[in-house]
Structure 1
């Protein structure tokens, strides 16, 4: 039986200010928790159903983390998603550490991406295409939001994020002279663009307004995904996948 204090603590982590206060966040579901266990995140505790504990007893015993058995009903009452019927973990957030681009490396920059599902999808897409660093504007949604963690499907354990003022960030790295490739309506066709082999930065903007004027001045190449139908716009998660797929066709890992 879970204590009232533990229930209160877990529920508080659904709110950003309490995640920041406690420096902790929630991870739900078997896939994400199993990947968390194999990561370098510090884990406070794991709540598991009896079925999950029996199925993954060898993995759980291999990791020195507190494990508590709970019912499915308790899990569904605690988590952000009623479909969670296996496990829930609480882990410590990581320091917001500066990320610098390296030679022959591509990284992502996100300007004011607000939707948690989109950010989670972008993290997962980045992981798929071998992108390990994402620099986010301060207004971009919190990576530790439960909806972001759920959409990232464990990829948050491998992709690093850094939140900062983007204009200041570009001033800090300007001596590296990396190309900054931004997604814009009216830019050059993505299919005609040659991605530099030396690496670079791919920038994606807000779901409604795109890349802000303040940050657009740092973009060296404005690129557009050609439209062939009548849709007004692309979801930013899908657009990121299209950009990275075309980049990887030219610049293998």
Structure 2
């Protein structure tokens, strides 16, 4: 495939300033786009058919090769060679890998989620750490969960730290933001069982039937699931622990619950 390449050398270029704004949530919300960095993530985005608009690469290192077939499966992509200074301005890392991409944010709403399969879904209520969100998305991907829902107060999926921590799993299943006070009642109407975690719960997750359509709801790292969301749950469970640890990290708890649900489905 013959690609049309352009070059930008100055950090004062208007397009470069737009790209740099994508490092902040306000810029991402304004432009409806986000930035990914590194060969693995850009390749995963192309492979998944994400709306990659522009691939920005280091003129010093040269344009990546071997993506022609992947690019044909996606929408037409613009290639822009840039200076190291431009890459540094648009990068969230200390040592840029030499390639980044500008991607249009997908538009997935509640109606689309509820219309599809919702056998096993993870719902996050105020999870604030990018690393935790990324790990939960990877675990959901690993067990074949149908979606991840980000409730109000949850860290932005398109935060560069979150994106890196997903290791590409963000492209393997639907992820959407939603108002849980509106979404959860509609899910229950469709036969979904809402399961929340609580340190005060008496019911073990291992003694709870997770084979039916189930949405696992996990809350903020310090406060847990909000009272408003907990009030909508059908059952509260606890992960029993034999040792002396007071509790599990939210990403660890989500992983345990997801793999227990997966195990029950495989029995």
Q: Which of 26-35 and 100-109 deviates more?
A: 100-109
1:188-217 Cα distance to aligned partner (Å, 9 max, x none): 22222232x332111111111111111111
Alignment-derived partner of residue 194 in structure 1: 209
Q: State the shift of 1:74 in Å.
A: 4.2
- Which residue, 73, 90, 96 being the options, matches 1:84? 96
Is the Cα–Cα contact under 8 Å of residues 104 and 198 in structure 1 kept in the other structure? no
Please, what is the CA RMSD of the aligned residues? Answer: 2.3
Q: Are 1:174 and 2:188 an aligned pair?
A: yes
SS in 2 for 1:251: helix
Q: Which of 165-174 and 236-245 deviates more?
A: 165-174
Instruction: Report the CA distance shift for 1:60/1:71 in structure 2 as closer, same or farther (over 3 A).
Output: farther
1:80-117 Cα distance to aligned partner (Å, 9 max, x none): 11243131001111224112175671111111111122
SS in 2 for 1:25: strand
Q: Are 1:13 and 2:13 an aligned pair?
A: no
**Distance (Å, rounded) in 1 between the aligned partners of 2:175 and 2:68:** 31
Alignment-derived partner of residue 75 in structure 1: 87
Instruction: Report the CA distance shift for 1:14/1:215 in structure 2 as closer, same or farther (over 3 A).
Output: same
Instruction: Report the CA distance shift for 1:29/1:181 in structure 2 as closer, same or farther (over 3 A).
Output: same
Alignment-derived partner of residue 41 in structure 1: 50
Alignment-derived partner of residue 39 in structure 2: 30
How do 1:138-217 and structure 2 match up within 5 A? 138-187=152-201, 188-195=203-210, 197-217=211-231
**Distance (Å, rounded) in 1 between the aligned partners of 2:230 and 2:68:** 51
SS in 1 for 2:120: strand
Alignment-derived partner of residue 9 in structure 2: 2
**Distance (Å, rounded) in 2 between the aligned partners of 1:243 and 1:15:** 32
Instruction: Report the CA distance shift for 1:226/1:84 in structure 2 as closer, same or farther (over 3 A).
Output: farther
**Distance (Å, rounded) in 2 between the aligned partners of 1:81 and 1:235:** 26
Q: Which of 7-16 and 166-175 deviates more?
A: 166-175
Return the TM-score normalized by structure 2: 0.85
**Distance (Å, rounded) in 2 between the aligned partners of 1:209 and 1:35:** 34
Structure 2 residue runs without a partner (length 5+): 1-7
1:138-187 Cα distance to aligned partner (Å, 9 max, x none): 21111111111111111111221222221221222332232111111132
Q: Are 1:227 and 2:241 an aligned pair?
A: yes
Aligned residue pair count: 252
Return the TM-score normalized by structure 1: 0.89
Instruction: Report the CA distance shift for 1:247/1:52 in structure 2 as closer, same or farther (over 3 A).
Output: farther
Structure 1 residue runs without a partner (length 5+): none
